Amino acid sequence: MRRDEYQMRSLTIGDLPLMRAIEEASFSTPWPGNAYESELTTNRLARYVGAWRRGKLLGFGGIWLMMDEAHVTTIAVVPALRGEGLGTALMLELLQEARRGDARVATLDVRVSNVSAQRLYARLGFSEAGRRVRYYEETGEDAIIMTTAELHDPQQQARESLARAATDADEPLPNQEAFDVLAR
């Protein structure tokens, strides 16, 4: 989906029902009903953005800005629209939001079994930094902790620019080798 076909904007409490619908369609164990309400109304560390087209929420993502770190808390896309580049676009928007919040790096947790997400995150400059053993209670699955290079590092920004250019043009992301060249 070309970037000019949707808009990004911050989410508000009025968007909560739409967020919940995407959350429930996306995760086997969605956050409790009041979690996003708290995130949107009282958590001063939280920032949530959504991708919108003609009044419909297509996907959303969130971060917590803690000291000099931005932690990606969630990212979800309407199931029928997965593979259209919205997840990439949301991650790029979250990284921009992290910079606006003066974060030095971004981190996230990802299921060991979610190899496609790990590949996306690696292309965007995240690398494995550790593991949370049995992190996901419902399955006992481990989480891989991933972190970016410094967000203001020219190579990190070049990775994001390459991904943004592909996403804006509705092209697939280049292969991993193209991103690795930027890291040299």
Cα end-to-end span (Å), the chain: 30
- Is 183 among the domain residues? no
- Is 20 among the domain residues? yes
What integer pLDDT is reported at residue 9 of this predicted model?
97
- Is 17 among the domain residues? yes
- Is 23 among the domain residues? yes
**pLDDT of residue 183 exceeding 70:** no
The string of pLDDT tens digits covering residues 27-77 is 888 888 789 999 999 999 999 999 999 999 999 999 999 999 999 999 999
What integer pLDDT is reported at residue 170 of this predicted model?
87
Count of the separate structural domains present in the chain: 1
CATH number of the domain to which 132 belongs: 3.40.630.30
What integer pLDDT is reported at residue 174 of this predicted model?
86
Domain that holds residue 26: 3-177
Could you write out the three-class secondary structure of the chain?
Answer: CCHHHCEEEECCHHHHHHHHHHHHHHCCCCCCCCHHHHHHHCCCCEEEEEEEECCEEEEEEEEEEECCEEEEEEEEECHHHCCCCHHHHHHHHHHHHHHHCCCCEEEEEEECCCHHHHHHHHHCCEEEEEEEEEEECCCCEEEEEEEECCCCCHHHHHHHHHHHHHHHCCCCCCCHHHHHHHCC
The string of pLDDT tens digits covering residues 119-164 is 999 999 999 999 999 999 889 999 999 999 999 999 999 999 999 9
